[in-house]
Amino acid sequence: MKKNLLMGLAGAALLCACQQTDPRSRIDFELDEMKSDTLLVGSYLISDLNQEHLELDTVLPGQSAYTYFAETDTIAYKVVAASTKDMNNAIVLALLPGEHVRVTGSLEDWQTEGSELNAAYAPIQKACRPYQEKMDSLAEVMTKEIYNNEYLPLWHQKDSLQADYVRQHPDRDLSLFILSEIGNDWVDELYPLLTEQVKSGPLAPIAQVFEENFRKRRIFEENQKRIAEGAEAPDFTLNDLDGQPLALSSLRGKYVVLDFWGSWCGWCIKGIPDMKKYYAKYKDRMEILGIDCRDTEEAWRAAVEKHELPWLHVRNADDPNVSLLYAIQGYPTKIVVDPEGKIAKIVVGEDPAFYQYLDELFK
């Protein structure tokens, strides 16, 4: 009887202890620099390969420890001293669901506990540091020659160190994480080497992004064959500024300039004065349909208002993906569609040749 009572009390105590433990994934930072310097801790979803939604937390000096709790499943982190803000030399970490990771030491020489992946990645990152430091020095005196002859080779050597790990360990989750960091042509070469277990493992969101990019590339290459001067311009329907559907085919009967642009595109913005000038000059014989790409709806609307763009506007929100449909390779791209719906001219970049073409067309 007494034995059962003691076991019951022990079980109740254990249950209370478990209930008091925070179940969220977490990283505890105990770094030397925290005593005297402000740290920046950047976090982003592991599937956000371009870190477009990087969130920064500031760790003020004087703290002996700092804990970051993950509110979502799979997160990546970059830790750097605020005095440098150099994310290229940050500690890069991955936090998987259910993990409790402890990071100690310094920004130059750190150790991790509680994560096999981060413990294996630390020495690789440290080996890359000398290359990055040389690249940072070259960036201060950068010229085209320095970039091509010195900077790029260093960059390749730095990434090659990480790529070597992937080649040697195609069955490790870290290999997939490394590919998300070095990206570019390395993915084409090394991703097929990874085991299916890695691709479907805890870092599967990265693999899904790669697979989707491969799928889009195949579609892009097929569409590229069909987008040519003299070919039929593919029809599409996107929502305009009033939220109403606008189809390209509804503009038949006059020349239409499809202007693929974005508020983030410096050359797109630089070309606006000439676009306005030529729209005013020829708007009785042509229409411009601005197709905003890679913007939030708020940024798109704000840009149209700020620059007072008088022509028609739609937003490419990837449903359908009109940039993919027209195999757009750079921004801005202007595609002139004739009154019968055929592609008459394709101009990539902000090029005076586009305006010369309009003058010849409408003279």
Per-residue pLDDT tens over the stretch 281-298:
999 999 999 999 999 999
The confidence score (pLDDT) of residue 22 equals: 59
Contacts of 65 (CB under 8 A, 6+ apart): 28, 29, 30, 34
Question: How far from chain centre, in Å, is Cα 177?
Answer: 15
Domain boundaries defined on the chain: 22-114, 145-223, 237-361
Positive/negative CA dihedral, 87, 136, 119, 39: negative
Per-residue confidence band for 333, with pLDDT thresholds at 50, 70 and 90: very high
DSSP class per residue in 74-125: SEEEEEEETTT--GGGSEEEEE-TT-EEEEEE-SSSEEEES-HHHHHHHHHH
Q: Do domains 22-114 and 237-361 have the same CATH topology?
A: no
Weakest mean pLDDT among 18-27, 84-93, 222-231, 354-363: 18-27
Per-residue pLDDT tens over the stretch 51-73:
888 888 899 999 889 998 887 66
Contact 172, 184 (CB under 8 A): no
Q: Which CATH class is domain 22-114?
A: mainly beta
Contact 38, 60 (CB under 8 A): yes
pLDDT value at 3 more than 50: no
The fold of 237-361 is Glutaredoxin (3.40.30)
The pTM of this model reads 0.76
Which has the closest alpha carbon to 333: 300, 289, 280?
A: 289
